[in-house]
Structure 1
């Protein structure tokens, strides 16, 4: 997948909005996505949690290992500054009816995905482009601990007990190699302190967990639109920024995005790769629509995204809706 914070750079006492001074701080983020935050349901992609850390910017001339490795990548954009990014996450998937302990043949299977990720981000000096290369590795099945997490969460909050996790996908190690490209192609000033921009994106994922091609665009309206390239999300999703750049004072923007994926492999619908398991007939074209708000103050950024996803498999009776919340801190 796709994704605002203020502070003072060590290279200048008061950098102005849109500054291209190298950012000398990293960003830590917490992302939570749940259908309870959107349609109030408990089905399909029902929950995701991810924590991540993205380093400061490294100039191409630096001798730090992050900059050295970035310069060895053949397609690394000329003059781009490098950031390393790391993540840990867990996703949970369920059928619509979580009270039935029996396999539900016409709905998606129970599945969990526990993973770690690491990669590099190429940031353009003028903050207009971002390229991410990422490797995620993890496990699907009981070893993902999704069953225990889901049941405990529902017990704590007195929600309906999920009774079908005995039918989840079998244990399988997995990986995704992900590339995401975002680039601002248009920006305009609508008035003092009010800007608008358009940021298309494209990318792909290769792996036994997810294999797809993606493309889309984000339209934003707000104060300073150079501090990130959109709200962070849990993949698969429209790409956003895992980092935030400094700005002065309170910052904000609203956004709306649309994107589509050509899905060739989705283990959570296709079932296990090397073992017999429950599966459904996936749809090869899936679209996401999203809108929301990003708020930034000092070294903090908070975003809310409302997501609508088209049907992912043939037996699905209606689209999915959920909410995504992220909290980021720059230090």
Structure 2
């Protein structure tokens, strides 16, 4: 049963490699807007950034093991000037991508796991969230001007037993001596998944810096289209700190407030506190609506969902560590409390 998943992931990974392989020259003079002749915005030169994220409802203040119970995500973001020339030209042709910008690509792998409230029941409550796993790889295209960040990404993967959600959760629970979940036999059926995401973030529309202290507010808007998720979203993030790094807030696992893997080192110790909010109008969520092409467990989802988050980010040299505490409003009828979970990310810039 694992072979179809690995075949799908392998084919998509090969496609990512083909896109990433022919790197462009690193000469900044090639990063000139062909229409205006204006030099592009240039952050400090880097060779790429690796970011690893873990989200879990056991982190922080909830102590529960339900609903969105665990997420893993690893991302490689290309370095300055590594985008192939032909790929830059494709991006310049997109009407919503600025031509006078730094172009980067991202490669990612992730897994998200969802369970009902009662994981000890052999026959889960049909009015509670179904069991489901979602394992995927992603290929992203980013354009940064210094004031805005546009991101276009496609995630391809599988929902259902091939996603190995049961194996991930129960093997880990057995390792740490915790009761395993009993109802995975009722999880969503196998289904290929595809989601196209677009996001735009505006950095520091309102900001000030005094001495070593800084403050900024960064709004964002975005949308997702696919058989796994379809929604429109908008919100914003406030940051306040010392030696405030130039970034767009901490990264998260979708659906969520967007952030950035990319960050600018401050040359020493830096950090900030942050808080943000996002509202989403949801047309499709396979983990609540059930499988697309066959009958499966499902619940009646709520159309409007909101996230509130707060946390801390610390940078030291080329390393950034962040912790986020998130609260998500009820997502389906019969859910009487919001979900609370934490997110930890570690990013290293090469």
Settle same-fold status: TM greater than 0.5: yes
Q: 1:254·1:293 contact (CA, 8 Å) conserved in 2?
A: yes
Please tell me whether the aligned partners of residues 120 and 183 of structure 2 are also in contact (alpha carbons under 8 angstroms): yes
Q: Paired residue for 1:37, among 43, 59, 64?
A: 59
Partner SS state of residue 204, structure 1: strand
Deviation at 1:226, TM superposition (A): 4.6
Q: Residue 213 of structure 2 contacts residue 244 of structure 2 at CA under 8 Å; is this kept in 1?
A: no
For structure 2, which runs of at least 5 residues remain unmatched after alignment? 1-26, 29-40
User: Which residue of the partner structure matches residue 70 of structure 1?
Assistant: 91
Tell me the number of residue pairs that the alignment of Structure 1 and Structure 2 aligns: 310
Partner residue of 1:284?
Answer: 303
Task: Say if 1:210 and 1:265, in contact at 8 Å, map to a contact too.
Answer: yes
User: Which range moved further: 110-119 or 243-252?
Assistant: 243-252
**CA distance 1:28–1:63, shift in 2 (3 Å):** closer
The 5-angstrom pairing of residues 21-60 of structure 1 reads 21-38=43-60, 39-58=62-81
- CA distance in 2: counterparts of 1:263 and 1:223, whole angstroms: 37
Please name the residue that 1:237 is paired with: 256
- Aligned counterpart, 2:234: 215
Runs of 4 or more, structure 1, over 6 Å off, are none
Do the aligned partners of 1:140 and 1:171 also contact (CA within 8 Å) in 2?
A: yes
1:151 and 2:185 correspond: no
Q: Please give the TM-score of this superposition, normalised by the length of structure 1.
A: 0.90
Which of these residues, 94, 105, 110, is aligned with residue 126 of structure 2?
A: 105
Match of 2:157 in 1: 138
Q: What per-residue deviation string (whole Å, max 9, x for no partner) do you get for residues 33-76 of structure 1?
A: 000103111000000001110011239xx863443332232322
Please name the residue that 2:139 is paired with. 118
Question: What does 1:175-254 correspond to in 2, within 5 Å?
Answer: 175-184=194-203, 185-189=205-209, 191-254=210-273
Distance 1:86 1:278, change over 3 A: same
Q: Structure 1, residues 163-215: CA drift from partner, whole Å, max 9, x if none?
A: 000000000001110001110211112x3110000000100000000000000
Aligned to 1:5: none
Q: Give the C-alpha shift of residue 20 in structure 1.
A: 4.5
Quote how far apart the aligned CAs of 1:236 are: 0.3
Match among 75, 81, 90 for residue 102 of structure 2: 81
- Answer yes or no: is the 8 Å Cα contact 2:46–2:349 preserved in 1: no
Distance 2:253 2:150 in 1: 17
Secondary structure of the structure 2 residue equivalent to 1:264:
strand
SS in 1 for 2:90: helix
| 1:96 match | 117
Structure of greater relative contact order (alpha carbons < 8 Å, 6+ residues apart): 1
Structure 1, unaligned runs of 5 or more: 1-9, 12-18
Contact 2:245 2:265 (8 Å CA) reproduced: no
Deviation, 1:237, is 0.2
> Offset of 1:129 from its aligned partner?
1.2
Taking the aligned partners of 2:337 and 2:278, their CA distance within structure 1 comes to: 19
Q: Which residue does the alignment assign to 1:14?
A: none
Aligned residues of 1:66 and 1:83 also touching (Cα < 8 A): no
State the superposition RMSD in angstroms: 1.7
Question: In structure 2, what is the Cα distance between the partners aligned to 1:162 and 1:225?
Answer: 43
- Partner of 1:267 in structure 2? 286
**Could you tell me whether the CA contact under 8 Å between 1:85 and 1:242 is conserved in 2?**
no
